[in-house]
Amino acid sequence: MKNYKTQMEAAKKGIITPEMLIVAKKEFMEPEKLRGLIACGQVAIPANINHTSLSPEGIGTGLSTKINVNLGVSGDCKNYDIELEKVKLALKFGAEAIMDLSNYGKTNTFRNQLIKISPAMIGTVPMYDAIGYLEKDLLEITPQDFMKVVRSHAEEGVDFMTIHAGINKRAIEAFKRTGRKMNIVSRGGSLLFAWMEMTGNENPFYEYYDEFLEILREFDVTISLGDALRPGCIDDSSDASQLSELIELGQLTKRAWEKDVQVMVEGPGHMAMNEIAANMTIQKRLCHGAPFYVLGPLVTDIAPGYDHITSAIGGAIAAASGADFLCYVTPAEHLRLPDINDVKEGIIASKIAAHAADIAKGVPHAREIDNNMAEARHKLDWDAMFELAIDSEKARAYYESASPAEKHTCTMCGKMCAVKTTNMILEGKTVEFYSEN
């Protein structure tokens, strides 16, 4: 029988768990080095003891950048079959995490099915589920009710939960003084703000933080400290509201580690490119090196319909500057619940950002697949190129949609293909464009 409750407790005791061995192999890292990073909180392995289908992943210092895919139903879009298709797509393209953000009705049937079939980490935001799960209006919900929802998610097998514990009364005072353009854009954060203002009480996730940590510790659920006051437009980024909450999150990080609960800290949001690197440094400093999980950041506010691109730009910069985990953004962001095509576009954009950052960070073997692609292009081996592409099907479909007259080239350059011309010259052959056949 194992003598530890959580991955962090095991790491502190010098124990290398089966999950650590799997992650170490995936990351080309010595298990003992990984154990040390988990012990000090710089790496988390979200792995609920009840998620038996999980293929463990590590998030944090020295590891490859992971991506998360959000899905789930809303009051206006309630088709769980469509959400399951999104799950399959996320798994097909190698997303390491899936968050069920359903906020309508009894969501546990879908979530139980998701946890049963998914090798990817599963995350939730219990605050979203509270109203539907409890069938109470916001004002009627008690701190004990919130605990009931958190325990339910933990028992089901959720690997990490976003809990907005940092938006306490001190942070709200800073928010009110700041005077933002977009105020609060976090759904969970806005609900907690409303609950606090209507009841006059402290944030229950902050006031009863230790009790919530005990639940998370029991099932080895990683706490993802939500950024309720994240900037919702670039004009609000790096303001007193955001940073005052981040200071609170740093203290909450240490308190969780004291109870052997693994931690991730969530970040912006909308942010101009020139602020991103500094924000990553500040987060790592204030939150003691805990893994950083960012939504975007979106680097401009004027691209609805293309926010997977604005997010990929910001995400690549953030991850190259120290962020560890990227939450995907789809073209439907700010507009509607994403459909299956939106989800695919968001996943691909996020995977590109994560991989580009891993190359910049020097993650072991990150360049290998790029070098293999270069070799395939050098040889004009189209099948190998399609196999190596992030989206093999799209690459092949593009190529086959317009057949070139010149064998082994594409319709961009045709007989003037630079690769073919150079290969021929280096092989001692003559290049002729107008020779008779």
Cis peptide leading into 364, omega within 30 of 0? Answer: no
Based on the number of CB atoms within 10 Å of its own CB, is 101 exposed (0-12), middle (13-18) or buried (19 or more)? Answer: buried
123 — phi, psi (to 5°)?
-120, 160
Based on the number of CB atoms within 10 Å of its own CB, is 40 exposed (0-12), middle (13-18) or buried (19 or more)? Answer: middle
Which of 4, 258, 274, 54 has the alpha carbon at shortest distance from 160?
A: 54
410 is in an annotated binding site: yes
Kind plus residue range of the DSSP H or E element containing 98: strand 97-100
Based on the number of CB atoms within 10 Å of its own CB, is 222 exposed (0-12), middle (13-18) or buried (19 or more)? Answer: buried
367 is in an annotated binding site: no
227 is in an annotated binding site: yes
**Token pair for 283:** 């987060």
CB 304 within 8 A of CB 53: no
Instruction: Count H helices and E strands in the chain, helices first.
Output: 19, 10
CA dihedral defined by 95, 99, 104, 108, rounded to 10 degrees? 100
334 is in an annotated binding site: yes
**Token pair for 138:** 């916001």
Which of 79, 83, 135 has the alpha carbon at shortest distance from 340?
A: 83
233 is in an annotated binding site: no
40 is in an annotated binding site: no
229 is in an annotated binding site: yes
**Token pair for 126:** 């219990």
Residues sharing a CB contact under 8 Å with residue 140, sequence separation 6 or more, in sequence order: none
Measure the CA–CA gap between 56 and 236, rounded to whole angstroms: 36
187 is in an annotated binding site: yes
Measure the CA–CA gap between 241 and 183, rounded to whole angstroms: 9
Which of 317, 401, 305, 297 has the alpha carbon at shortest distance from 345?
A: 305
217 is in an annotated binding site: no
395 is in an annotated binding site: no
266 is in an annotated binding site: yes
327 is in an annotated binding site: no
CB 76: neighbour CB atoms within 10 A? 8
417 is in an annotated binding site: yes
Residue set of the binding site: 70, 99, 128, 164, 186-188, 227-230, 266, 270, 293, 334, 410, 413, 417
Residue set of the binding site for Zn(2+): 270, 334
Residue set of the binding site for substrate: 70, 99, 128, 164, 186-188, 227-230, 266, 293
Residue set of the binding site for [4Fe-4S] cluster: 410, 413, 417
